[in-house]
Amino acid sequence: MVVDSQTPSYLFNTGRGFQSQNFLGCHWHSNQTADFRVWAPHALAVAVVGDFNHWQPTALRELGTTGIWQGQLSKIFPGQLYKFRVTAPDGQSQLKIDPFARQFEAKPGDAAVVCPPSRMHWHDSLWLARRKRTHLERRPLNIYEVHLGSWRRHPDGSYYTYTELTASLIPYVKRLGYTHIELMPVMEHLLDRSWGYQQFGYFAPTSRFGDRDAFLHFVDACHQANLGVFVDWVPGHFIRNYDALYQYDGTPTFEYADRGRADNHRWGAWNFDLGKAQVQSFLISSALFWLEECHLDGLRVDAVSNLLYINYDAGQEHRLNQYGDDRNVEGIAFLKKLNGVVAARHPDVAMIAEESSAYPQVTGALQDGGLGFDFKWNMGWMHDTLNFFKLDPLYRADHFQLLTFAFVYMYDEHFILPFSHDEVVHGKRSLMHKMPGDRYNQFANLRTLLTYMLAFPGKKLNFMGAEWGQYLEWRDWSQLEWVDLDDHLNHAMQRFTAALNQLYHQQRPLWEQDQVDAGLRFTHTDDPQSVTMSFIRQAKRPHDFVVATFNFAPVEHRQYRIGVPYCGTYHLLLNTEAQAFGGTWTRLEQTFTATAQPYRGQPASLTCTLPAMGALLIAPTKVSRGSTHV
């Protein structure tokens, strides 16, 4: 028998079925019939049960020796629920979800929903055309991270729908000046407290907020508002429930056969067997589904370290691979394959790694041995920076290396600087609550922190609520503390965030050369006792730069000298202590004159009053042509 190497079943079983959702699952036809197909290679029998047959099993037949079971049923209507009844090798039967379902019933149920083909008519062609012209590495990227279930809720505690979020979340994020929204996982999941990270619906937007098409309209509306959309995606592990993917055919099917490697103690989940060809087809099909059918602008791949190391999970016994180390050879190969497939098909989208180890070349090119991601979260910078800002200013001089150490490795990867949900939950306190001092000084510290993040090389991400300094840490079971905005300091903080984000978007030096040495020059970073810092962010044009100066102590510095590359006049872009932002300065120094007085390696310098616990951003207005660029 000659096997057609291009059949969907062959491609799926050989790890090359990258659109397997178009073959497997339930496919409804307008003549009220539906094809059902499911992969259960070791099952003795498979049947489909649902509303259409009164939940009495209708047997499917195996497609040759492919491990795929299929059948066509009549009198099937959209909206009907169904599951597969899988009989294991030991003769026991279990109702199982459809791994390729496009929609599930509302929790606490997990039956799949018969869906007709989407009739979505997209209106984002201009956005997609712009996306193709310039990669995000060379554009401003400022992300607002959102948990849809707790951004806003109705007074009775019910969720906002995708449609309601379209009307409220999108204009809010746009008004605040962010460039992208990043959604915590919206793939279908049962447990709210998992935040979406223990999934079972890898092709289905969660029904909590509406149906599949409502989610697509949300993405379309974001693009029409010039907002990109990322979604967290979890290829490392899946929900433990027995009626989901676990031991799907009665044997380890999606997870490792070795229970020690399959059991993920850290998250209470099961690890995918990433070396299995069918699992690779399943996961890469899922990734492409979200990028292609849902028009997403990228995926933030969760817990990449768990895919890179065999012993990453604290509960696992120490294991070694065939080469005598703890690298997860299958996981590394899968990530390279995933990123290679995505880059070949969609070079204009972003693959983002949430990776917490020092694994090299996470964003390195595949041809150079790298993993091929576009960006990596800079977890080291995040931890060190927050640890510094949490200190009483009295002790910051002794721990200045918490800020300066990141300068050593800031170009090792293409970084995103994240103040994410993980840093404002489980007793870690909100960003505002981490700041020392009384309420006024907490706001002053927070404004300086966000300005430091803005000026440091790398793209940006902030979790919802930080934009106005919410004091309570994040609670996934209730909405943000919007009542805070009745307070003038919180309202001023929100105004500051909008101004800061607008400035970031307008000033090319703050993002044009994020990944290269030429994008930053040190002018005053080696003087910890002053607890101040100054550096220059440089755009490609020599005269286009921003001077960023920070004071991390509550002591004002008059006649503070800053080295600059040119003589001439400079103007103020931002003073974090402006009264409009909640500070105390009612009159701001708007212009500065740089003279030919060399200072700290620069041929010219200017002086300013550096506010206590504050920051200044300054840009050239007119510089002398005869001065030397250093």
Instruction: Look at strands 415-419 and 459-463 and give their pairing.
Output: parallel
Among 302, 423, 514, 577, which one carries the catalytic annotation? 302
CATH number for the domain that contains residue 570:
2.60.40.1180
Nearest to 98 by CA among 73, 75, 81: 81
Is the backbone peptide bond immediately before 393 cis, with ω within 30 degrees of 0?
no
Identify the weakest region by mean pLDDT among 132-136, 571-575, 590-594: 132-136
Identify each DSSP E strand in 464-594 by its residue range.
Answer: 520-524, 532-538, 545-551, 557-564, 568-575, 591-594
The yes-or-no verdict on residue 314 having pLDDT over 70 is no
The tokens describing 395, both together, are: 């002790």
Identify each DSSP E strand in 99-189 by its residue range.
Answer: 112-113, 142-146, 180-183, 187-188
pLDDT for 1 equals: 40
- How far apart CA 141 and CA 184 sit, in angstroms, is 17
The yes-or-no verdict on residue 625 having pLDDT over 80 is no
The yes-or-no verdict on residue 4 having pLDDT over 70 is no
Average pLDDT over residues 455-477: 97
Q: What residues make up the domain containing 594?
A: 517-623
- How far apart CA 535 and CA 558 sit, in angstroms, is 19
The yes-or-no verdict on residue 316 having pLDDT over 80 is no
Look at the chain and report how many structural domains it folds into.
2
Residue 257 forms part of a structural domain: no
| Predicted TM-score (pTM) of this structure | 0.96
pLDDT for 164 equals: 98
Residue 479 forms part of a structural domain: no
Q: Which of 50, 80, 113 is the last residue in one of the domains? A: 113
CA dihedral 384, 388, 391, 397 (to 10 degrees): 130
Task: Provide the CA 598 distance to its chain's centre, in angstroms.
Answer: 43
Residue 164 forms part of a structural domain: no
Active site residue 182: no
Phi, psi (rounded to 5 degrees) for 188: -60, 135
Q: Left (φ > 0), alpha (ψ -120 to 50) or beta: where does 416 sit?
A: beta
The yes-or-no verdict on residue 270 having pLDDT over 50 is yes
Nearest to 224 by CA among 216, 213, 234, 232: 216
Instruction: Grade residue 55 by pLDDT with cuts at 50, 70 and 90.
Output: very high
The yes-or-no verdict on residue 374 having pLDDT over 80 is yes
Residue 102 forms part of a structural domain: yes
Task: Assign 33 to helix, strand or coil.
Answer: strand
Residue 47 forms part of a structural domain: yes
Residue 410 forms part of a structural domain: no
For 97-121, the pLDDT digits (tens) are 999 999 999 999 999 999 999 999 9
The tokens describing 493, both together, are: 């903080």
Q: Which of 64, 87, 113 is the last residue in one of the domains? A: 113
Among 110, 354, 413, 473, which one carries the catalytic annotation? 354
**Are residues 306 and 295 in contact, defined by beta-carbon separation less than 8 angstroms?**
no
pLDDT for 629 equals: 46
pLDDT for 630 equals: 40
The tokens describing 105, both together, are: 């019933």
pLDDT for 318 equals: 79
Task: Assign 237 to helix, strand or coil.
Answer: strand
For 229-241, the pLDDT digits (tens) are 999 999 999 999 9
The tokens describing 365, both together, are: 């090119």
Bridge partners, residue 561, by sequence: 607
pLDDT for 313 equals: 72
Residue 546 forms part of a structural domain: yes
**Are residues 435 and 390 in contact, defined by beta-carbon separation less than 8 angstroms?**
yes
Average pLDDT over residues 329-334: 97
The yes-or-no verdict on residue 27 having pLDDT over 50 is yes
Residue 49 forms part of a structural domain: yes
Identify each DSSP E strand in 235-276 by its residue range.
Answer: 237-238, 263-264, 269-271
Q: Which of 54, 88, 113 is the last residue in one of the domains? A: 113
Phi, psi (rounded to 5 degrees) for 376: -130, 135
For the chain, report the end-to-end CA distance as a whole number of angstroms.
72
CATH number for the domain that contains residue 52:
2.60.40.10
Instruction: Grade residue 321 by pLDDT with cuts at 50, 70 and 90.
Output: confident
**Are residues 587 and 604 in contact, defined by beta-carbon separation less than 8 angstroms?**
no
Place of tokens 């810092």: 533
Active site residue 330: no
Task: Assign 308 to helix, strand or coil.
Answer: helix
